[in-house]
Amino acid sequence: MKTLMEIIKSRKSIRAYQDKPLPKQVVKDILEAAKYAPTARNMQELAYRVVTNKDLMDKLSKGIAEALQKEGLPLKGPPGVRPSFFYGAPLLILVIAPKDNNWAATDAALAVQNILLYATSIDLGACFIGMARFIEKDKELCKLVNIPDSRTIAAAVICGYPAENPEPREKKQTAEFFE
Ligand SMILES: Cc1cc2nc3c(=O)[nH]c(=O)nc-3n(C[C@H](O)[C@H](O)[C@H](O)COP(=O)(O)O)c2cc1C
């Protein structure tokens, strides 16, 4: 069994996935890992939108691309052959929170980190998808994933069986010690 430090050090963003769904129990376990993250003042106001429907994921990805284009922001990849923002993953989890929760982004990031580490521990790939916040720009898409006006997409993560094994990215550390 891997130690926690080994899991932390072996986690890396995976951006290619096998076309294979995750068993329901695995999805439940992933959400269970998220549930145990700390939240500011123990408010526990995060909610999850769990997307496994491929057509819906495609719609959401296209919506992100359109929102980026409208705002004049660059799209990655060669024109016309841009890959999905979800890289073909079988699972997308949107972490939503009330817009009036000042700690939403922090709470959500901690929940996603739990997911990333848990996924790594069971040899799944995963990746934080910050771009998913652009889904909010399209009210119709929000309806499709049941995000009311009062809530924001605070973070998002994809997960699945990896179809790549990239080199771990170099990590830097800046620390000053006051002893
Ligand atoms: C807040 C945040 C937003 C991110 N958004 C995206 C994203 O939209 N798409 C993507 O491919 N990766 C995204 N990433 C993954 C980072 O690019 C990745 O963590 C970084 O390049 C370091 O690589 P590693 O995760 O393999 O260590 C995001 C990561 C964070 C923390």
Phi, psi of 138 (to 5 degrees): -115, 105
103 lines ligand 1 (CB under 6 A): no
- Which atom of ligand 1 is closest in space to residue 12's alpha carbon? 26
Collapsed DSSP state (helix, strand, coil) of residue 76: coil
Say yes or no: domain 21-160 is CATH 3.40.109.10.
Answer: yes
Nearest protein Cα to ligand 1, atom 1: 130
Spans of the chain, pLDDT less than 50 = none
Please report where in the chains the tokens 């329901």 appear, as a residue. Answer: 24
Question: What is the per-residue pLDDT for 179?
Answer: 97
Ligand 1 pocket residue status of 130, Cβ below 6 Å: yes
What pLDDT is recorded for position 81?
54
- Alpha carbons 123 and 104: distance in angstroms, whole number: 28
Going by alpha carbons, the residue nearest to atom 27 of ligand 1 is 12
pLDDT at position 9, please?
97
Structure tokens at 134: 């652009």
**pLDDT score recorded for residue 127:** 98
pTM: 0.96
Ligand 1 center to 157 CA (angstroms): 10
Check residue 75 and give its pLDDT. 75
Q: Report domain extents, the chain.
A: 21-160
Predicted confidence at residue 28, as pLDDT, reads 98
